[in-house]
Amino acid sequence: MNRIFVALLLSAALAVPGLSQQSNSNSSMPAADSGQSSPASQTAISPDPIPAPTSTDFWDGDDPNLVNLVTHPFANKKYVQRMTRPIKDRLEELDQISSSNRTAIHDIDSRAQQGLQLASEKTNLADQHASDAATKAQSAQSAASQASTRVGSVEQRVGSLDQYKGATQTEIRFRPGQSALSKEAKDAIDGIAAPLKDEHSYIIEVRGFSSGSGQSAIANSQKMADSVVRYLVLSHNIPMYRIYVLSMGNVPEAMGAKRVSGGRVEINLLKNDATSAQQ
């Protein structure tokens, strides 16, 4: 029973404030209705101005105090470090990427410069080799031209070696059975050999003729020709390779001509004018 009584008291105590609030609201409704029904009374009453917002914490006020600065969670150093660590890590990562990119760009630039320098050196070396090859080719062509000119000159000289022409001719007479040279014979030989002291490209043909027949005539003609050759070599220093000796025996000078008595030697001076002009 006591419990039931206490519950009723609590219910009554809670119901009284609700009834009072309802009565207050009912009493205020006519006033509101009357206010709406009379425009004159509405204009007579002026509402109060809206109050300015007041600062309630550290971040809302313009002049925070020391207590808010210390006690606010955003002012904590550890909190700031914890909040900014991802940004700092990201910045450090970006710095590392930038540094690696700079290193890679520097390496690529260095390699490119080395490649360009190596290519330039190889190009210069190739140009030098090409210039050397061109110089050698020009030298070879010049040498070939000189060799061709010399070959042509040699061919011309070789072709003109046997083109000798008679320059001077004399005849020396011998008595039968004699091969010694008389004074007139020596003077005749001097007239031919003296001008040949500094001459080249000439030959002297010595042909001996003798009366008789067979081998004795050939032997006699050889002795007379040898006398003339000996005088040319010893007295005028004529080289032996420039003297050609022929032992003709009793061959007549021409067909139908009579053979002479005794013996004679013909001396013919032959010169090669083309070779002399080239020398």
Statement: residue 139 has pLDDT above 80: yes
Q: Decide if pLDDT at 5 tops 70.
A: no
Structure tokens at 89: 């890590």
- 72-81, 177-186, 253-262: range with lowest mean pLDDT: 253-262
- pLDDT value at residue 101: 92
Is pLDDT at 211 greater than 90 in this prediction? Answer: no
| The residue to which tokens 């091969």 are assigned | 179
Ranking 35-39, 122-126, 186-190 by mean pLDDT, the lowest is 35-39
Q: Which candidate, 258, 254, 228, 251, places its Cα nearest to that of 240?
A: 228
Selection from 273, 267, 153, 154 nearest residue 202 by Cα: 273
Say whether pLDDT at 225 is over 60. yes
pLDDT at 46: 53
Checking if the pLDDT of 267 tops 90, the result is yes
User: What's the Cα-to-Cα distance from 197 to each of 59, 60, 86, 158, rounded to whole Å?
Assistant: 136, 138, 118, 24
User: Above pLDDT 90, what percent of the chain?
Assistant: 23
Q: How confident is the model at residue 158 (pLDDT cuts 50, 70, 90)?
A: low
Gap between the Cα atoms of 11 and 68, Å rounded: 46
Mean pLDDT of the region 132-153: 88
Q: Which of 5-19, 31-45, 49-63 has the highest mean pLDDT?
A: 5-19
Whether the predicted pLDDT of 119 surpasses 60: yes
Name the pLDDT band for 87 (thresholds 50, 70, 90): confident
pLDDT at 154: 73
Backbone torsions φ then ψ of 273, nearest 5 degrees? -70, -35
Q: Which pLDDT tens digit goes with each residue over 198-209?
A: 888 889 999 999
Give me the pLDDT at residue 75, please: 53
Question: Is residue 25 pLDDT above 90, yes or no?
Answer: no
User: What is the model's pLDDT at position 31?
Assistant: 40
pLDDT for residue 266:
92
Average per-residue pLDDT in the chain?
76
pLDDT at 67 over 70: no
Quick one: tokens of 144?
């070939």
Sign (positive/negative) of CA torsion 74, 77, 82, 85? positive
